[in-house]
Protein backbone atom coordinates (compact mmCIF):
# COMPACT_ATOMS: atom_id res chain seq x y z
CA UNK A 1 0.00 0.00 0.00
CA UNK A 2 2.90 2.32 0.75
CA UNK A 3 4.49 1.57 -2.64
CA UNK A 4 1.24 2.36 -4.42
CA UNK A 5 0.99 5.66 -2.61
CA UNK A 6 4.62 6.41 -3.48
CA UNK A 7 3.85 5.76 -7.14
CA UNK A 8 0.79 7.94 -6.97
CA UNK A 9 2.79 10.82 -5.57
CA UNK A 10 5.46 10.43 -8.27
CA UNK A 11 2.95 9.85 -11.15
CA UNK A 12 3.66 13.14 -12.92
CA UNK A 13 7.42 12.65 -12.83
CA UNK A 14 7.03 9.09 -14.10
CA UNK A 15 4.84 10.26 -16.99
CA UNK A 16 7.40 12.93 -17.97
CA UNK A 17 10.20 10.35 -17.91
CA UNK A 18 8.15 7.93 -20.01
CA UNK A 19 7.41 10.67 -22.56
CA UNK A 20 11.09 11.59 -22.74
CA UNK A 21 12.06 7.94 -23.28
CA UNK A 22 9.41 7.53 -25.99
CA UNK A 23 10.68 10.61 -27.89
CA UNK A 24 14.26 9.43 -27.62
CA UNK A 25 13.27 5.97 -28.94
CA UNK A 26 11.37 7.59 -31.84
CA UNK A 27 14.38 9.75 -32.76
CA UNK A 28 16.68 6.74 -32.70
CA UNK A 29 14.24 4.78 -34.92
CA UNK A 30 14.06 7.62 -37.47
CA UNK A 31 17.85 7.95 -37.53
CA UNK A 32 18.34 4.24 -38.12
CA UNK A 33 15.62 4.31 -40.87
CA UNK A 34 17.39 7.16 -42.69
CA UNK A 35 20.70 5.37 -42.43
CA UNK A 36 19.23 2.15 -43.87
CA UNK A 37 17.59 4.09 -46.74
CA UNK A 38 20.95 5.72 -47.62
CA UNK A 39 22.72 2.34 -47.58
CA UNK A 40 19.99 0.73 -49.76
CA UNK A 41 20.05 3.66 -52.20
CA UNK A 42 23.80 3.47 -52.62
CA UNK A 43 23.72 -0.28 -53.18
CA UNK A 44 20.81 -0.21 -55.62
CA UNK A 45 22.43 2.64 -57.59
CA UNK A 46 25.65 0.66 -57.84
CA UNK A 47 23.81 -2.46 -59.05
CA UNK A 48 21.76 -0.46 -61.63
CA UNK A 49 24.83 1.34 -62.99
CA UNK A 50 26.72 -1.91 -63.28
CA UNK A 51 23.82 -3.52 -65.19
CA UNK A 52 23.49 -0.49 -67.52
CA UNK A 53 27.23 -0.59 -68.28
CA UNK A 54 26.90 -4.27 -69.12
CA UNK A 55 23.96 -3.65 -71.43
CA UNK A 56 25.80 -0.79 -73.15
CA UNK A 57 28.80 -3.01 -73.82
CA UNK A 58 26.56 -5.73 -75.27
CA UNK A 59 24.66 -3.21 -77.49
CA UNK A 60 27.91 -1.66 -78.71
CA UNK A 61 29.25 -5.06 -79.65
CA UNK A 62 26.07 -5.99 -81.56
CA UNK A 63 25.99 -2.65 -83.41
CA UNK A 64 29.64 -2.99 -84.36
CA UNK A 65 29.14 -6.45 -85.84
CA UNK A 66 25.98 -5.34 -87.72
CA UNK A 67 27.61 -2.20 -89.17
CA UNK A 68 30.62 -4.20 -90.33
CA UNK A 69 28.26 -6.62 -92.13
CA UNK A 70 26.27 -3.81 -93.82
CA UNK A 71 29.45 -1.96 -94.85
CA UNK A 72 30.79 -5.12 -96.48
CA UNK A 73 27.56 -5.59 -98.42
CA UNK A 74 27.55 -1.93 -99.55
CA UNK A 75 31.19 -2.20 -100.65
CA UNK A 76 30.48 -5.28 -102.72
CA UNK A 77 27.47 -3.54 -104.36
CA UNK A 78 29.49 -0.41 -105.16
CA UNK A 79 32.29 -2.57 -106.57
CA UNK A 80 29.87 -4.39 -108.89
CA UNK A 81 28.39 -1.09 -110.11
CA UNK A 82 31.86 0.35 -110.74
CA UNK A 83 32.90 -2.71 -112.75
CA UNK A 84 29.64 -2.47 -114.77
CA UNK A 85 30.26 1.23 -115.49
CA UNK A 86 33.79 0.45 -116.67
CA UNK A 87 32.47 -2.24 -119.01
CA UNK A 88 29.75 0.05 -120.40
CA UNK A 89 32.29 2.85 -120.97
CA UNK A 90 34.53 0.43 -122.83
CA UNK A 91 31.68 -0.80 -125.03
CA UNK A 92 30.44 2.79 -125.66
CA UNK A 93 33.86 3.92 -126.77
CA UNK A 94 34.15 1.03 -129.21
CA UNK A 95 30.59 1.66 -130.51
CA UNK A 96 31.42 5.37 -131.08
CA UNK A 97 34.50 4.37 -133.09
CA UNK A 98 32.42 1.98 -135.24
CA UNK A 99 29.69 4.58 -135.82
CA UNK A 100 32.27 7.26 -136.68
CA UNK A 101 33.88 5.05 -139.32
CA UNK A 102 30.47 4.02 -140.81
CA UNK A 103 29.08 7.58 -140.93
CA UNK A 104 32.19 8.87 -142.61
CA UNK A 105 31.94 6.14 -145.25
CA UNK A 106 28.18 6.82 -145.78
CA UNK A 107 28.62 10.61 -146.11
CA UNK A 108 31.57 10.26 -148.54
CA UNK A 109 29.66 7.76 -150.71
CA UNK A 110 26.00 9.01 -150.67
CA UNK A 111 25.48 12.40 -149.00
CA UNK A 112 28.13 14.39 -150.86
CA UNK A 113 27.00 13.00 -154.26
CA UNK A 114 25.83 16.06 -156.27
CA UNK A 115 23.61 14.32 -158.82
CA UNK A 116 21.82 12.13 -156.28
CA UNK A 117 21.30 15.19 -154.10
CA UNK A 118 19.80 17.08 -157.07
CA UNK A 119 17.43 14.22 -157.87
CA UNK A 120 16.36 14.06 -154.23
CA UNK A 121 15.60 17.81 -154.09
CA UNK A 122 13.60 17.65 -157.34
CA UNK A 123 11.49 14.78 -156.05
CA UNK A 124 11.02 16.55 -152.74
CA UNK A 125 9.77 19.69 -154.53
CA UNK A 126 7.23 17.67 -156.54
CA UNK A 127 6.06 15.87 -153.41
CA UNK A 128 5.63 19.16 -151.56
CA UNK A 129 3.59 20.61 -154.43
CA UNK A 130 1.36 17.52 -154.46
CA UNK A 131 0.80 17.68 -150.69
CA UNK A 132 0.07 21.42 -150.94
CA UNK A 133 -2.57 20.77 -153.62
CA UNK A 134 -4.18 18.04 -151.51
CA UNK A 135 -4.23 20.31 -148.46
CA UNK A 136 -5.85 23.11 -150.52
CA UNK A 137 -8.54 20.73 -151.77
CA UNK A 138 -9.11 19.40 -148.26
CA UNK A 139 -9.43 22.97 -146.97
CA UNK A 140 -12.05 23.75 -149.62
CA UNK A 141 -13.89 20.54 -148.71
CA UNK A 142 -13.91 21.52 -145.02
CA UNK A 143 -15.21 25.00 -145.91
CA UNK A 144 -18.01 23.53 -148.01
CA UNK A 145 -18.84 21.05 -145.25
CA UNK A 146 -18.94 23.82 -142.66
CA UNK A 147 -21.21 25.91 -144.87
CA UNK A 148 -23.49 22.91 -145.40
CA UNK A 149 -23.62 22.22 -141.66
CA UNK A 150 -24.38 25.88 -140.99
CA UNK A 151 -27.12 25.80 -143.62
CA UNK A 152 -28.61 22.63 -142.12
CA UNK A 153 -28.44 24.21 -138.65
CA UNK A 154 -30.23 27.32 -139.93
CA UNK A 155 -32.89 25.18 -141.60
CA UNK A 156 -33.36 23.15 -138.39
CA UNK A 157 -33.59 26.38 -136.40
CA UNK A 158 -36.19 27.76 -138.79
CA UNK A 159 -38.17 24.51 -138.62
CA UNK A 160 -38.04 24.56 -134.82
CA UNK A 161 -39.19 28.18 -134.85
CA UNK A 162 -41.94 27.20 -137.28
CA UNK A 163 -43.10 24.40 -134.97
CA UNK A 164 -43.30 26.82 -132.05
CA UNK A 165 -45.05 29.53 -134.10
CA UNK A 166 -47.21 27.27 -136.22
CA UNK A 167 -50.25 29.35 -135.28
CA UNK A 168 -48.96 32.16 -137.54
CA UNK A 169 -49.64 30.14 -140.70
CA UNK A 170 -52.00 31.78 -143.17
CA UNK A 171 -55.51 30.56 -143.93
CA UNK A 172 -57.91 31.26 -146.75
CA UNK A 173 -59.70 33.80 -144.58
CA UNK A 174 -56.98 35.53 -142.58
CA UNK A 175 -53.48 35.98 -144.05
CA UNK A 176 -50.54 35.58 -141.68
CA UNK A 177 -47.84 38.10 -140.83
CA UNK A 178 -45.50 36.47 -143.36
CA UNK A 179 -48.08 36.54 -146.19
CA UNK A 180 -49.26 40.13 -146.27
CA UNK A 181 -51.44 41.29 -149.14
CA UNK A 182 -49.02 44.18 -149.69
CA UNK A 183 -46.16 41.81 -150.59
CA UNK A 184 -45.61 40.49 -154.09
CA UNK A 185 -44.95 36.98 -152.80
CA UNK A 186 -45.06 35.30 -149.37
CA UNK A 187 -41.90 35.26 -147.30
CA UNK A 188 -39.70 32.21 -146.83
CA UNK A 189 -41.03 31.68 -143.28
CA UNK A 190 -44.55 31.30 -144.69
CA UNK A 191 -43.41 28.43 -146.96
CA UNK A 192 -41.67 26.76 -144.01
CA UNK A 193 -44.80 27.12 -141.85
CA UNK A 194 -46.91 25.46 -144.54
CA UNK A 195 -44.51 22.53 -145.00
CA UNK A 196 -43.83 22.00 -141.28
CA UNK A 197 -46.06 19.63 -139.36
CA UNK A 198 -47.12 20.62 -135.86
CA UNK A 199 -45.81 18.24 -133.19
CA UNK A 200 -46.90 17.71 -129.65
CA UNK A 201 -44.36 18.73 -127.01
CA UNK A 202 -42.70 15.69 -125.45
CA UNK A 203 -41.53 17.32 -122.21
CA UNK A 204 -43.00 20.11 -120.15
CA UNK A 205 -40.76 22.61 -118.38
CA UNK A 206 -41.78 23.55 -114.88
CA UNK A 207 -40.79 26.81 -113.27
CA UNK A 208 -38.83 26.58 -110.08
CA UNK A 209 -41.12 27.76 -107.28
CA UNK A 210 -40.08 30.58 -105.00
CA UNK A 211 -39.76 29.20 -101.51
CA UNK A 212 -41.28 31.39 -98.86
CA UNK A 213 -41.43 30.93 -95.12
CA UNK A 214 -44.80 29.19 -95.41
CA UNK A 215 -43.42 26.76 -98.02
CA UNK A 216 -40.44 26.03 -95.77
CA UNK A 217 -42.80 25.25 -92.89
CA UNK A 218 -44.80 22.93 -95.14
CA UNK A 219 -41.57 21.27 -96.30
CA UNK A 220 -40.56 20.65 -92.68
CA UNK A 221 -44.01 19.18 -91.99
CA UNK A 222 -43.77 16.86 -94.99
CA UNK A 223 -40.54 15.46 -93.57
CA UNK A 224 -42.41 14.47 -90.43
CA UNK A 225 -45.70 13.36 -92.02
CA UNK A 226 -45.94 10.07 -93.96
CA UNK A 227 -45.62 10.30 -97.77
CA UNK A 228 -48.76 10.75 -99.87
CA UNK A 229 -49.95 8.30 -102.47
CA UNK A 230 -48.63 8.71 -105.99
CA UNK A 231 -52.14 8.71 -107.51
CA UNK A 232 -54.42 11.54 -106.24
CA UNK A 233 -57.90 10.66 -105.09
CA UNK A 234 -60.82 12.05 -107.00
CA UNK A 235 -62.35 11.98 -110.52
CA UNK A 236 -59.26 13.45 -112.20
CA UNK A 237 -58.29 12.76 -115.78
CA UNK A 238 -54.98 11.18 -116.69
CA UNK A 239 -52.14 13.67 -117.29
CA UNK A 240 -51.52 12.18 -120.76
CA UNK A 241 -55.12 12.84 -121.81
CA UNK A 242 -55.03 16.38 -120.46
CA UNK A 243 -51.71 17.12 -122.21
CA UNK A 244 -52.99 15.69 -125.49
CA UNK A 245 -56.21 17.71 -125.18
CA UNK A 246 -54.25 20.91 -124.57
CA UNK A 247 -51.60 20.39 -127.28
CA UNK A 248 -53.69 18.48 -129.81
CA UNK A 249 -52.96 19.24 -133.47
CA UNK A 250 -54.88 21.90 -135.30
CA UNK A 251 -57.95 20.58 -137.14
CA UNK A 252 -59.48 23.47 -139.08
CA UNK A 253 -63.27 23.38 -139.06
CA UNK A 254 -65.67 24.47 -141.75
CA UNK A 255 -65.71 27.92 -140.20
CA UNK A 256 -61.91 28.29 -140.53
CA UNK A 257 -61.78 26.94 -144.08
CA UNK A 258 -64.46 29.25 -145.49
CA UNK A 259 -65.13 32.95 -145.37
CA UNK A 260 -67.25 34.27 -142.52
CA UNK A 261 -69.48 36.15 -144.98
CA UNK A 262 -69.75 33.27 -147.45
CA UNK A 263 -73.53 32.99 -147.03
CA UNK A 264 -74.10 36.68 -147.73
CA UNK A 265 -71.83 36.53 -150.77
CA UNK A 266 -73.64 33.43 -152.04
CA UNK A 267 -76.99 35.18 -151.62
CA UNK A 268 -75.71 38.16 -153.56
CA UNK A 269 -74.51 35.89 -156.37
CA UNK A 270 -77.88 34.10 -156.44
CA UNK A 271 -79.69 37.44 -156.59
CA UNK A 272 -77.49 38.56 -159.47
CA UNK A 273 -78.13 35.27 -161.29
CA UNK A 274 -81.88 35.63 -160.76
CA UNK A 275 -81.76 39.24 -161.89
CA UNK A 276 -80.12 38.15 -165.13
CA UNK A 277 -82.72 35.46 -165.80
CA UNK A 278 -85.92 37.27 -164.75
CA UNK A 279 -88.09 39.30 -167.11
CA UNK A 280 -89.16 42.26 -164.95
CA UNK A 281 -88.03 43.84 -161.66
CA UNK A 282 -91.42 43.89 -159.91
CA UNK A 283 -91.57 42.23 -156.47
CA UNK A 284 -93.55 39.02 -156.39
CA UNK A 285 -96.80 39.19 -154.41
CA UNK A 286 -99.08 36.25 -153.68
CA UNK A 287 -102.86 36.36 -153.96
CA UNK A 288 -103.29 36.39 -150.19
CA UNK A 289 -101.12 39.46 -149.73
CA UNK A 290 -103.08 42.68 -149.13
CA UNK A 291 -101.91 46.23 -149.34
CA UNK A 292 -102.77 47.06 -145.76
CA UNK A 293 -99.99 46.77 -143.20
CA UNK A 294 -99.95 43.98 -140.68
CA UNK A 295 -101.00 45.31 -137.22
CA UNK A 296 -98.55 44.80 -134.40
CA UNK A 297 -99.58 42.63 -131.46
CA UNK A 298 -98.70 45.23 -128.85
CA UNK A 299 -101.36 47.62 -130.16
CA UNK A 300 -103.93 44.95 -131.02
CA UNK A 301 -107.27 44.67 -129.27
CA UNK A 302 -106.89 40.99 -128.36
CA UNK A 303 -105.31 40.28 -124.92
CA UNK A 304 -101.96 38.45 -124.67
CA UNK A 305 -102.33 34.73 -123.93
CA UNK A 306 -99.25 32.83 -122.63
CA UNK A 307 -98.57 29.75 -124.79
CA UNK A 308 -98.70 26.34 -123.23
CA UNK A 309 -95.74 24.04 -122.74
CA UNK A 310 -96.58 21.95 -125.81
CA UNK A 311 -96.83 25.11 -127.91
CA UNK A 312 -93.43 26.28 -126.63
CA UNK A 313 -91.86 22.93 -127.60
CA UNK A 314 -93.54 23.09 -131.01
CA UNK A 315 -92.15 26.56 -131.64
CA UNK A 316 -88.60 25.37 -130.95
CA UNK A 317 -88.85 22.20 -133.06
CA UNK A 318 -88.26 22.46 -136.83
CA UNK A 319 -91.23 22.06 -139.19
CA UNK A 320 -90.22 19.26 -141.54
CA UNK A 321 -93.11 20.05 -143.88
CA UNK A 322 -91.36 23.27 -144.84
CA UNK A 323 -88.10 21.50 -145.86
CA UNK A 324 -87.24 21.55 -149.57
CA UNK A 325 -85.27 18.26 -149.30
CA UNK A 326 -85.27 15.18 -147.11
CA UNK A 327 -82.84 16.70 -144.58
CA UNK A 328 -82.40 20.11 -143.02
CA UNK A 329 -80.22 22.81 -144.61
CA UNK A 330 -76.79 23.14 -143.00
CA UNK A 331 -75.35 26.63 -142.80
CA UNK A 332 -71.63 27.31 -143.28
CA UNK A 333 -71.31 29.14 -139.95
CA UNK A 334 -72.19 27.38 -136.72
CA UNK A 335 -74.45 29.18 -134.36
CA UNK A 336 -72.67 28.22 -131.12
CA UNK A 337 -69.41 26.30 -131.84
CA UNK A 338 -68.72 25.78 -128.12
CA UNK A 339 -71.52 23.17 -127.96
CA UNK A 340 -69.63 20.99 -130.47
CA UNK A 341 -66.69 20.78 -128.02
CA UNK A 342 -68.76 19.63 -125.06
CA UNK A 343 -66.82 17.08 -122.92
CA UNK A 344 -63.82 17.41 -125.22
CA UNK A 345 -61.78 20.06 -123.46
CA UNK A 346 -61.54 21.61 -120.02
CA UNK A 347 -60.19 25.04 -121.05
CA UNK A 348 -62.01 27.81 -122.87
CA UNK A 349 -60.98 27.51 -126.56
CA UNK A 350 -60.11 30.36 -128.81
CA UNK A 351 -63.04 31.75 -130.78
CA UNK A 352 -61.12 31.24 -134.03
CA UNK A 353 -60.96 27.44 -133.72
CA UNK A 354 -63.62 24.78 -133.62
CA UNK A 355 -63.46 21.00 -133.51
CA UNK A 356 -64.33 18.90 -136.50
- Residue-level pLDDT at 354: 43
Q: Which residues contact 259 (CB under 8 A, 6 or more apart)?
A: 172, 173, 265
Cα(175)–Cα(192) distance, rounded to whole angstroms? 15
Query: 162: exposed, middle or buried (C-beta count within 10 Å: 0-12, 13-18, 19+)?
Result: buried
Q: Which residues contact 318 (CB under 8 A, 6 or more apart)?
A: 328
Q: What is the pLDDT of residues 103-161, one digit of tens each?
A: 988 888 877 877 887 888 899 999 999 999 999 999 999 999 999 999 999 988 888 88
- Residue-level pLDDT at 92: 94
Query: Over 70: is that where the pLDDT of 200 sits?
Result: no
Label residue 86 by pLDDT band (50, 70, 90). very high
C-alpha of 97 from chain center: 68
Label residue 61 by pLDDT band (50, 70, 90). very high
Buried b / exposed e over 18-33, threshold 16 CB at 10 Å, is eeeeeeeeeeeeeeee
Average pLDDT, integer, range 169-192: 81
High-pLDDT (> 70) share of the chain, %: 66
Cα(27)–Cα(25) distance, rounded to whole angstroms? 5
Buried b / exposed e over 181-199, threshold 16 CB at 10 Å, is eeeeebeebbebbeebeee
Which of residues 98 and 313 earns the better pLDDT score?
A: 98
The answer to whether 242 and 201 have CB atoms below 8 angstroms apart is: no
Label residue 303 by pLDDT band (50, 70, 90). low
Q: Which residues contact 304 (CB under 8 A, 6 or more apart)?
A: 297
Beta strands in 133-183 (DSSP E): none
Q: Mean pLDDT highest for which of 13-22, 130-139, 269-278, 333-342? A: 130-139
- Residue-level pLDDT at 350: 41
Amino acid sequence: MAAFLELRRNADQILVELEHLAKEAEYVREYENRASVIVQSAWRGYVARSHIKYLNRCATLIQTRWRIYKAQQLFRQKLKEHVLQLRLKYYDDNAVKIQKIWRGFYVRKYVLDFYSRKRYLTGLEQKNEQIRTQLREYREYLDQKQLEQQRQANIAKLEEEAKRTHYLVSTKVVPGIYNSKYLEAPKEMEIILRTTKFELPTTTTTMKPIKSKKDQDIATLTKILPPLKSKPQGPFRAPEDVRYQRYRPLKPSLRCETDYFATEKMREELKLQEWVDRIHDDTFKSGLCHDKSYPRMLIGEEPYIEPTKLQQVALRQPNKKQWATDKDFRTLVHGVPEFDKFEMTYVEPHYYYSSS
